[in-house]
């Protein structure tokens, strides 16, 4: 039996949705989150229940919508996200869309129910407008997996003059939505502002759990978006120790659900906001060429995103840790090699010293030959802010076989072989911090410091002309 993705927008027109016939009985249950694990069920046919539950029409509204359910149970992240929003955003109404009855069906059948739940949300918003003059622009819909597309359908059914303020898609579902037209999935047209976090787009049997294509004004792809650190099978024991018997299941959905926890992290850790950068793809980002914040080329992942409406979807990339807080600091390294005669693929160990912290040893392996005059660019991430960069050390870690052969040559012919000793000639090294957009250029500390031999340490400091520029800048500021 074949299933289509979802019925087309022409099958369920906006006018049909807006002309609700009374009594309208929604398929979903809306629960106002109170505190802890307490919720209060809202009876839309009896709007006085909103007041008795504690709904405050002066405060903005957040609607959390879950995705497909394997076991028919509400997942623990739902209450965790609700609690985070209620506790840290504070003056806000948090409502949970419970559509477990339809979500606990075979996936293709659950997909066919997404428009129905979207219609339920519209009915809820219209009820708020009619009874409380509550505008849709004060609503923020947060949907996970299928819930992301449900939120999108709700937005598409709203009258253009009553657009929803914001929709956040947390790893929007891929199967039966990938490649579909904007009217048949979450899209930038569904709200005044739409953002999405893609965390599990790795294909399995021709399908990806999360949708790959951009579906928002800003689409974030942490760690490339295809998989997430800490979610491999070898992490199953860690998950079992944390989640008990549900640890195996947690491992299976770890990458998909990471989108939720990244969003929660952005609320809980306001002092550690993860920054993402616009880039053509993850390969280019890994080379460190995309750490630019000009013209809205970077943005904050999660709740505190800078809302900028764009004509086309913008793809942003970032690296994260495997656990909360997920924030990493991004650094772009540019290393210049001068008149390199011998072709080689060296392994370097570098360390940075800043005014706040030291980086510790960072290993860099070149995957292509270094020869002639070339500049290599690559990305380095750290879990701490180093402050203003002051010092850089480089150690050339040559292959063990190479070093043993050279030591034997020196033992047999101690006066010979000097001219053929492998050597790197390094020019300038520039380091750009993505989070601060500060760039620092390093030069060799000594005249012979450009020449680096195997197993040798070299120190690089801020270039003198840069120091002069900094002094002039300081004088201008006084």
From the candidates 5, 69, 113, 145, give the one annotated as an active-site residue.
145
Active site residue 171: yes
User: Structure tokens of 459?
Assistant: 């120190």
Q: Is 363 left (phi over 0), alpha (psi -120 to 50) or beta?
A: beta
Cα separation, 410 vs 224, whole angstroms: 47
Q: Is 184 annotated as a binding residue?
A: no
**CB under 8 A, 24+ apart: contacts of 68-73:** 68/103, 68/107, 68/110, 68/145, 68/146, 68/173, 69/100, 69/103, 69/104, 69/110, 70/104, 71/104, 72/100, 72/103, 72/104, 73/100
Is residue 33 exposed (0-12), middle (13-18) or buried (19+ Cβ within 10 Å)? buried
From the candidates 171, 195, 219, 265, give the one annotated as an active-site residue.
171
Cα separation, 211 vs 198, whole angstroms: 7
Backbone angles phi, psi at 337, to 5 degrees: -105, 135
* Helix (H) / strand (E) containing 124: helix 114-132
From the candidates 140, 239, 256, 330, give the one annotated as an active-site residue.
256
Active site residue 120: no
Cα separation, 397 vs 347, whole angstroms: 6
468 alpha carbon, distance to own chain's centre = 38
Cα separation, 310 vs 83, whole angstroms: 31
User: Structure tokens of 107?
Assistant: 């996936």
Active site residue 256: yes
428: which residues sit within 8 A by CB, 6+ positions away? Answer: 336, 441, 442, 443, 463
Which residues are registered as beta bridge partners of 443? 461
Q: Is 190 annotated as a binding residue?
A: yes
In the block, tokens 């059914």 appear at 157
User: How many residues in total does the chain contain?
Assistant: 478
Please, are residues 170 and 143 in contact by the beta-carbon 8 Å criterion?
Answer: yes
Distances (CA, A) of 312 to 179, 187, 215, 217, 221: 16, 11, 10, 7, 16
Active site residue ranges: 145, 171, 256
Binding-site annotation, residues: 185, 190
Binding-site annotation, residues for Ca(2+): 185, 190
């Amino acid at each position: 039996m074949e299933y289509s993705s979802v019925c087309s927008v022409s099958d369920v027109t906006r006018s049909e949705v807006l002309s609700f016939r009374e009594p309208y009985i929604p398929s979903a249950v809306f629960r106002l989150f109170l505190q802890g694990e307490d919720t209060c069920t809202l009876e839309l046919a009896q709007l006085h229940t909103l007041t008795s539950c504690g709904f405050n029409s002066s405060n903005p509204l957040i609607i959390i919508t879950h995705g497909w359910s394997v076991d028919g149970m509400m997942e623990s992240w739902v209450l965790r996200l609700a609690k985070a929003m209620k506790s840290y955003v504070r003056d806000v109404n948090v409502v949970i869309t419970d559509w477990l009855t339809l979500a606990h069906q075979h996936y293709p059948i659950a997909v066919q129910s997404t428009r129905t739940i979207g219609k339920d949300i519209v009915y809820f918003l219209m009820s708020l407008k009619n009874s409380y003059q509550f505008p849709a622009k004060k609503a923020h819909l947060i949907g996970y997996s299928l819930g992301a597309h449900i939120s999108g359908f709700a937005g598409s059914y709203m009258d253009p003059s009553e657009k929803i303020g914001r929709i956040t898609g947390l790893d929007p579902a891929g199967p039966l939505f990938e490649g579909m037209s904007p009217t048949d999935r979450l899209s930038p047209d569904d709200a005044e502002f739409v953002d999405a976090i893609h965390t599990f787009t790795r294909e399995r049997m021709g399908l990806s759990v999360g949708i790959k294509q951009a579906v928002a004004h800003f689409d974030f792809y942490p760690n490339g978006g295809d998989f997430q650190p800490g979610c491999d099978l070898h992490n199953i024991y860690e998950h079992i120790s944390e989640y008990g018997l549900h640890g195996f299941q947690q491992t299976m959905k770890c990458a998909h659900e990471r989108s939720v926890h990244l969003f929660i992290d952005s609320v809980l850790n306001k002092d550690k906001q993860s920054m993402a950068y616009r880039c053509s793809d993850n390969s280019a980002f890994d080379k460190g060429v995309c750490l630019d914040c000009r013209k809205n080329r970077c943005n904050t992942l999660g709740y505190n995103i800078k809302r900028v409406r764009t004509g086309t979807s913008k793809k942003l990339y970032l690296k994260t840790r495997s656990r909360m807080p997920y924030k990493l600091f991004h650094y772009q390294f540019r290393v210049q090699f001068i008149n390199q005669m011998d072709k080689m693929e060296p392994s370097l160990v570098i360390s940075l010293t800043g005014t706040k912290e030291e980086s510790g040893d960072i290993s860099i392996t070149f995957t292509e030959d270094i020869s002639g005059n070339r500049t290599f660019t690559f990305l380095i991430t750290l879990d701490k802010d180093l402050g203003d960069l002051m010092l850089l050390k480089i150690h050339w870690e040559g292959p063990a076989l190479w070093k043993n052969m050279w030591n034997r040559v020196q033992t047999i012919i101690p006066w010979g072989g000097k001219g053929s000793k492998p050597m790197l000639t390094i020019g300038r090294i520039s380091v750009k911090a993505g989070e601060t957009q500060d760039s620092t250029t390093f030069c060799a500390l000594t005249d012979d410091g450009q020449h680096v031999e195997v197993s040798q340490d070299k120190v690089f400091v801020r270039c003198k002309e840069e120091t002069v520029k900094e002094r002039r800048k300081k004088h201008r500021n006084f």
